Amino acid sequence: MDWDYLRYIHALATGGTLARAGDILGVHQTTVLRRLDQMEEQLGVQLFERTRDGVQLTPAGETAFNEAERLSQDMDSLERKLMGQDARPVGKVRLATTDTLLSCLINPILSEFVALHPGIQLEVTTGNEVLSLSRRDTDIALRPTNEPQETLIGRRIGVIESAIYASDDYIDSHPPFDPDHPEAEAWVVPDESFSHLATNRWYRKHLKDTQPVIRCNSLYGMYSMICSGSGVGVIPCYMGDSTADLRRLSAPLKAEGTDLWLLTHQDLRQMARVRMVLEFLSEKLHERQPLIEGRSREQLEN
């Protein structure tokens, strides 16, 4: 059996159509169809049911796909191990994080790094769903989570604490904030897409009968609305405390913190360029631990 057949089986099963399989493989869909016909004729079995909507695995196809999936994982593992033996501190390093951590915390760190290490090219991806390290979508992830993936290794930077903030303009045009009656304020809150946030427990307890003025599907969007004076809101202290026009209206919310982890795959930790980025980020982020944990303003005020 041609080993290349397994690539086509895997792409067809994953993509579900000839066109999507072609996109995955980087070939035209007619090439995929031709190879599928060749496979089934040579093996003497039908691997896929062909429908108007695409293709579906037959029992024989499922057996072939399971082997293709296993081999794909083995190849990914081999790639990581081989790359992990690279001792040269040059090349590309992929970093995945959230838009708020990039914009409000690590931007200056990355700028400093690339100035010091021009041989390393950083490829930064942002999003609330951080890409998978296990499948080599990225090399390093900086992610807020209280349950880091067991197959990854990393360093816990600290606890991301959050507090209530408002802009100077909002404070100047409203009565003093009363922590016993938060429902009196105009609130900017996250929508249901952020139900995973630890701070949602605080919203449910203190604002369950409050109608917010704005719901937003982006933490950075909430931050922008609060900065513009639209209302008060709960945001991470590393965002609020580093913004001159925002005032903190509460202490960090109790028991609502989220751990901040710097993670990589164990096969990549010895790669020189990955290790260099990890160590640099770890050192600089630990220096910012008071900001991350909401202690920076207290230190300035004492």
Residue 230 is predicted with a pLDDT of 95
Q: Provide the residue range defining the domain that includes 102.
A: 91-160+258-301
- Find all residues with CB under 8 Å of 107, minimum gap 6, and list them: none
**CATH number, position 214:** 3.40.190.290
Whether residues 151 and 281 fall in one domain: yes
Asked if residue 263 and residue 149 are part of one domain, the reply reads: yes
Q: In what order do the strands lie in the sheet with 140-144?
A: 120-126, 91-97, 140-144, 258-265, 152-160
**Same-domain check for residues 275 and 297:** yes
Regarding whether 166 and 229 lie in a shared domain, the answer is: yes
With tokens 């949602």, the residue in question is: 200
Q: Are residues 171 and 244 in the same domain?
A: yes
Instruction: Say whether both 80 and 206 belong to one domain.
Output: no
Residue 253 included in any domain = no
Let me know if residue 101 belongs to a domain: yes
**Type of residue found at 134:** S
- Regarding whether 216 and 191 lie in a shared domain, the answer is yes
* 173 lies in the same domain as 240: yes
Last residue of one domain, picked from the residues 60, 84, 108: 84
Same domain, 169 and 133: no
Q: Hey, what amino acid is at 224?
A: S
Q: Give the count of beta carbons closer than 10 Å to the beta carbon of residue 106.
A: 20
What is the predicted pLDDT for the residue at 85?
53
User: Residue 96: which CATH number?
Assistant: 3.40.190.10
What pLDDT is attached to residue 7? 82
Q: Is residue 115 part of a domain?
A: yes
Residue 300 has what pLDDT? Answer: 43
Q: With respect to residue 241, please indicate whether it lies within any of the assigned structural domains.
A: yes
For residue 74, give the CATH number of its domain: 1.10.10.10
Q: Write down which residue in 84, 111, 128 finishes a domain.
A: 84
Number of domains in the chain: 3
Q: Would you say residue 151 lies in a domain?
A: yes
Q: How far is CA 11 from CA 4, 17, 29, 69, 119, in A?
A: 11, 9, 11, 10, 35
Task: Specify the pLDDT at position 39.
Answer: 86
Residue written as token pair 């605080």: 202
Predicted confidence at residue 206, as pLDDT, reads 86
Low-confidence residues of the chain: pLDDT under 70: 1-3, 75-89, 128-136, 151, 196, 267, 269-270, 297-302
Check: CB of residue 44 under 8 Å from CB of residue 60: no
Distance of CA 256 to the CA centre of its chain: 20
Q: Are residues 143 and 267 in the same domain?
A: yes
Residue 88 CA: distances (Å) to CA of 91, 276, 287, 300: 8, 10, 27, 42
Domain boundary pick from 248, 275, 293: 248
User: Domain check: are 17 and 125 in the same one?
Assistant: no
Q: Do 155 and 29 share a domain, yes or no? A: no
